[in-house]
Amino acid sequence: MARPLNAGVAGPMTGQMEGLMMVTPLTLGELIIPRAEELFGHRAVIARVGDGVHRTTWAETCVRARRLAAALARLGVGPGDRVGTFAWNTHRHLEAYLAVPAMGAVLHTLNIRLFPEQVAYVVDHADDSVVLCDRSLLPLWRAVEPRLSRPRQVVVLPDLAADDSAAAQSSDLDYEELVAAAEPLAAWPQVDENAAAAMCYTSGTTGNPKGVVYSHRSTVLHSLAVGLADAQGLSSRDTVCAIVPMFHANSWGLPHASALVGASLVLPGRDLSPAAICQLIESERCTLAAGVPTIWSGVLDHWRRAKPDLSSLRFAVCGGSAVTESLSAAFEREIGVPILHAWGMTETSPIGSVSHLPVEPGAEADEATRRSYAMSQGRAVPGVVLRVVDENGAPVPRDGVTMGEIRVRGPWIAREYYRDGAPPDKFADGWLRTGDVATIDALGYIRIVDRTKDLVKSGGEWISSVELEGHLMAHPDVLEAAVIAVPDPKWDERPLACVVPRPEARGRLTAEALLEHLRPRVARWWLPDAIVFIDEVPKTSVGKFDKKVLRARYAPGETAAPLPVSEARG
């Protein structure tokens, strides 16, 4: 009488009974915007625009979003059409964050830090129909326009006084005029939960930018995740300062999550100076703020000088790249605000993992252990399935030492890029291969050590270029250091370090001194075979080390002869 259970076999199960719960679609128009408008309409939305601070509410923001949707429809924006934004974090950008997806169109946030050629590529690739552009960014946008395959309708968001708009053109439309002229949409349309809500292109260091297309479902689920106690724990009691740009992975999901939970939202506009950020946090009594490590090291420096009151912060959320131990420790000990370290990428919406201290026995035993967890990228948040795997796709031992690539799966992880197919090296077997190399410990905490393409694969073992760079940059005479792999006939690859000495150490700093500095810090076989001194590490448009330029210069492929160590060392 036993019936077979189709476990472990491919394909979905049949014969299940149907659940009888509502099939409420997970969309912005159903679950996010009405909450902000009806339940938290009185909560504040605060944006620094130009030299002033614009104060409004979620209720007003939502009414203006309904006006904006009607105005965009009159401009010809229909279901599925892409609407580009070229803007700082302001209340108008927030209105577009709500209106464009909820009307069934697609919000395409353009990265203002890309080169004009790249912006033009992205606008053409996504086929944006309209672009909402901050007045302060018009000069940048005007450099993009000649490179576009066809002209786009520009709607100007007046973040500067009108007389500053030297780059304005007569064909530009004014955002405030459009919004004022439109009747608010009475009700949001019924959008499919799997329909596109937003898109964001990666600023990868290789090849053209790739488009990630978020769905309503992924956006709602990700917003719930941001509200989890195991993630940022965002709630109606928070006042959130979203420093991370709204053109970077939806400002880490904070605008939509704030609308869902009814948090007050503070948007810093163009001025990302430490003094301006501290002033906003202090005056608005922000409980949570989110930015990259360089933002927080600037804030730390400013705090040491000016001692602004940052005591309202529950956490300083930090992601984008790894936080240093000194920054993490100083923030907690001096300012009294813990840094909450998170990991993710454009392809992961972006929250993948968050590092809260574990409660497991021993984990909080001593300061060094605490610090090690605070510096880790934490555990996968609920909803994200995460593995650290070897080159064959098998999970590595959870010993905190063995390195492997992070693969993730889940309802807010990209399954393919827009109009790019699904390259098997990136999306395979239902997993996203992140390209991030990490260790994972017994409690499931990951620690990123490198990018796969930057690893040095030497004699079957992996050497972390990031760790070597960290040690080199800790030397007092070193300004910057980038480590790349060079082909080696015996070991396949060996590390080569490109070092920028501090100005005062030029000509004095020697390769031998750096090797001496590294010897007590890394395994002997990790020591670079060559150290070259350069004037500057080449950077991408968004400021990341551009190692492909260095590789082209020093590691010209396996067909070429390896660079003699003596020459490189000179």
Q: Shortest Cβ distance from residue 557 to a copy of itself (Å)?
A: 33
Given the residues 252, 343, 462, 526, the one annotated as active site: 462
Given the residues 30, 193, 347, 469, the one annotated as active site: 347
Neighbours of 306 (CB within 10 A): 11
Return the structure tokens found at 482. Answer: 């980038």
Q: Which is nearer to a copy of itself, 215 or 464 (CB)?
A: 215
Return the structure tokens found at 484. Answer: 């790349």
Q: Shortest Cβ distance from residue 464 to a copy of itself (Å)?
A: 24
Rounded distance, CA 313 to CA 505, Å?
40
**What's the DSSP call for residue 246?**
T
Q: Is 347 a residue of the active site?
A: yes
Residues 477 and 460: beta-carbon distance below 8 Å: no
Q: Shortest Cβ distance from residue 317 to a copy of itself (Å)?
A: 14
Q: Is 202 a residue of the active site?
A: yes
Closest CA to 446 of 394, 393, 379: 379
539-545 long-range Cβ contacts below 8 angstroms, 24+ apart: 540/203, 540/205, 541/113, 541/114, 541/115, 541/118, 541/203, 542/111, 542/113, 542/114, 542/203, 543/113, 544/203, 544/205, 545/482
Q: Is 462 a residue of the active site?
A: yes
Q: Shortest Cβ distance from residue 384 to a copy of itself (Å)?
A: 9
Q: Which is nearer to a copy of itself, 413 or 448 (CB)?
A: 413
Q: Shortest Cβ distance from residue 108 to a copy of itself (Å)?
A: 11
Q: Shortest Cβ distance from residue 14 to a copy of itself (Å)?
A: 7
Given the residues 145, 282, 457, 491, the one annotated as active site: 457
How buried is residue 243: exposed, middle or buried, by Cβ count under 10 Å (0-12/13-18/19+)? buried
> 3-state secondary structure string, 331-373?
HHHHHCCCEEEEEECHHHCCEEEEECCCCCCCCCCCHHHHHHH
Q: Which is nearer to a copy of itself, 74 or 304 (CB)?
A: 74
**What's the DSSP call for residue 138?**
H
Q: Which is nearer to a copy of itself, 101 or 269 (CB)?
A: 101
Return the structure tokens found at 7. Answer: 């476990």
Q: Is 526 a residue of the active site?
A: no
Q: Which is nearer to a copy of itself, 344 or 383 (CB)?
A: 383
Rounded distance, CA 297 to CA 384, Å?
29
DSSP run (H or E) holding 86: strand 82-86
Question: What secondary structure does DSSP assign to 386-397, as a single string?
Answer: EEEE-TTSPBPP
Q: Shortest Cβ distance from residue 154 to a copy of itself (Å)?
A: 16
Given the residues 57, 85, 109, 202, the one annotated as active site: 202
Rounded distance, CA 204 to CA 524, Å?
32
Q: Which is nearer to a copy of itself, 26 or 295 (CB)?
A: 26
Q: Which is nearer to a copy of itself, 415 or 539 (CB)?
A: 415
Residue positions annotated with a catalytic role: 202, 347, 457, 462
